[in-house]
């Protein structure tokens, strides 16, 4: 299995659970994180040592990326698994898929690369290199059908991850983390160091404008606690490995674009989507990405349910204004009503088990 970031580690861990339920003797080896390791996978390399974001950053680290691809290929050739399961992370995983195919190893892709956003020509490479693709967003099946590629829509694994967690009360959460009694605003500034350094200071710039709230930063899995120490100030705290608990008790959230936008919505937390990168990466991305929205919430619902503050729009003034709106009615009610429709569209619980059964049946055929 190969996962290259925190969300992939989460979904990979749940898939390992489901696969082991289908085959208790299954053994797992690959690239991932702490959650996959906790489920018994032998982790060859942690995703925090391989994750790169942005066009400029990728160019700078291209030799290192290619070296990691080579390492993965060598281990694949030595280990010769019955199957390889690739989770998102397309720049890396499609190279590995091509090599696995040459070795005659069955190749499965779980959670489609976002080829519907840009690089649609990658669909042809996926068709050639992947035995079976499992998609988790409702519009992806129709997208691939336009390329005469039959894929399996299995639902979204976040529904399982959220439903299976042990609930906690607001009082229990604040007591455990030694927080005050003020309502909480969750800050989810991304999982990558570059995102955190760029976006978190902007999110924190509005703390003084909301004196009756406490702001809590959700530390990213795989990042060291010291990274966040310089951001601490009165009414600002940080919690680690408690993102879902934090969202479950928060009144609102400021969220970096990505899986976290979907997570906040599934916890029924009104949110503002915040994103900024280097000017170079943004300039290239704007030319290549042909989407009306960047957040998964808006893409799935096909309307601007959550406000997206992107690049130059991500300012203290705009963050303050949008946060004030989602803390009040009628904006909160409208957003939460849309979140109910979002859950319906995502296909219900059981994505991990549906995927595991399809993989098991394919391997047995």
Torsion angles phi and psi, residue 50, rounded to 5: -125, -15
As given in the structure block, the two tokens for residue 94 are 């499609």
115 and 249 together in one domain: no
Question: Which residue stretches of the chain have pLDDT < 70?
Answer: 50-62, 278, 280, 282-290
75 and 223 together in one domain: no
User: Do 300 and 155 touch, CB atoms closer than 8 A?
Assistant: no
What HEC string does the chain produce? CEECCHHHHHHHHHHHHHHHHHCCCCCCEEEECHHHHHCCCEEEEEHHHCCCCCHHHHHHCHHHHHHHHHHHHHHHHHHCCCEEEEECCHHHHHHHHHHHHHHCCEEEEECCCCCCCCCCCHHHHHHHHCCEEEECCCCHHHHHHCCCCCCEECCCCHHHHHHCCCCCCHHHHHHHCCCCCCCEEEEECCCCHHHHHHHHHHHHCCHHHCCCCEEEEEECCCCCCHHHHCCCECCEEEEECCHHHHHHHCCEEEEECCHHHHHHHHCCCCEEEEECCCHHHHHHHHHHCCCCCCCHHHHHHCCCCCEEEEHHHCCHHHHHHHHHHHCCCCHHHHHHHHHHHHHHHCCCCCHHHHHHHHHHHHHHC
The confidence score (pLDDT) of residue 195 equals 87
221 and 191 together in one domain: yes
Other Cβ atoms closer than 10 A to 64: 12
**163 within some domain:** no
314 and 266 together in one domain: yes
187 and 220 together in one domain: yes
User: Do 354 and 154 touch, CB atoms closer than 8 A?
Assistant: yes
Q: What is the pLDDT of residues 238-275, one digit of tens each?
A: 999 999 999 999 999 999 978 899 999 999 999 999 99
199 and 120 together in one domain: no
**113 within some domain:** yes
The confidence score (pLDDT) of residue 292 equals 84
Q: What is each CA distance from 94 to 42, 73, 193, 235, 355, in whole angstroms? A: 22, 12, 24, 44, 20
Total tally of structural domains belonging to the chain? 2
216 and 335 together in one domain: yes
**162 within some domain:** no
The confidence score (pLDDT) of residue 283 equals 61
Q: Which domain holds residue 278?
A: 169-345
Q: In the chain, count H helices and then E strands.
A: 18, 13
Rounded Cα–Cα distance for residues 349 and 146 (Å): 27
**164 within some domain:** no
Cβ partners under 8 Å of residue 329, min gap 6: none
**224 within some domain:** yes
First vs last C-alpha separation in the chain: 21
151 and 260 together in one domain: no
357 and 307 together in one domain: no
Residue 173 sits in a domain of what CATH number?
A: 3.40.50.2000
206 and 116 together in one domain: no
283 and 320 together in one domain: yes
220 and 95 together in one domain: no
């Amino acid at each position: 299995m190969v996962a290259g970031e925190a969300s992939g580690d989460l979904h990979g861990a749940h898939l390992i659970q489901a696969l082991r339920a289908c085959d208790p003797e299954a053994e797992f080896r690959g690239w991932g994180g702490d959650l996959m390791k906790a489920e018994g996978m032998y982790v060859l390399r942690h995703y925090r040592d391989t994750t790169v974001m942005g066009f400029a950053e990728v160019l700078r680290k291209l030799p290192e990326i290619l070296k990691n691809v080579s390492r993965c290929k060598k281990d694949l050739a030595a280990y010769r698994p019955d199957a390889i399961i690739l989770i998102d992370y397309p720049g890396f995983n499609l190279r590995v898929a091509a090599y696995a195919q040459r070795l005659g190893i069955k190749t499965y892709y779980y959670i489609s690369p976002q080829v519907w956003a840009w690089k649609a020509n990658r669909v042809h490479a996926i068709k050639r290199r992947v035995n079976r693709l499992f998609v988790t967003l409702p519009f992806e099946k129709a997208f691939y059908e336009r390329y005469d590629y039959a894929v399996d829509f299995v639902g979204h694994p976040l529904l399982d991850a959220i439903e299976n967690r042990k609930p906690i009360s607001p009082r229990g959460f604040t007591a455990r983390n030694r927080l005050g009694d003020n309502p909480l605003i969750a800050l989810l500034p991304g999982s990558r160091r570059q995102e955190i350094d760029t976006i978190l200071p902007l999110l924190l710039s509005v703390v003084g404008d909301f004196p009756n709230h406490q702001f809590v930063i959700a530390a990213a899995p795989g990042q060291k606690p010291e990274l966040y120490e310089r951001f601490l100030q009165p009414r600002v705290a940080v919690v680690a490995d408690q993102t879902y608990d934090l969202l479950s008790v928060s009144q609102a959230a400021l969220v970096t674009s990505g899986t976290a936008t979907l997570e906040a919505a599934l916890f029924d937390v009104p949110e503002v989507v915040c994103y900024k990168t280097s000017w170079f990466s943004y300039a290239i991305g704007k030319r290549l990405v042909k989407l009306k929205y960047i957040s998964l919430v808006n893409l799935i619902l096909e309307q601007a349910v959550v406000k997206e503050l992107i690049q130059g729009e991500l300012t203290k003034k705009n963050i303050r204004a949008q946060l004030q709106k989602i803390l009040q009615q009628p904006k909160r009610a409208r957003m939460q009503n849309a979140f109910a429709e979002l859950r319906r569209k995502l296909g219900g619980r059981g994505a991990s088990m549906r995927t595991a059964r399809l993989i098991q049946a394919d391997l047995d055929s």
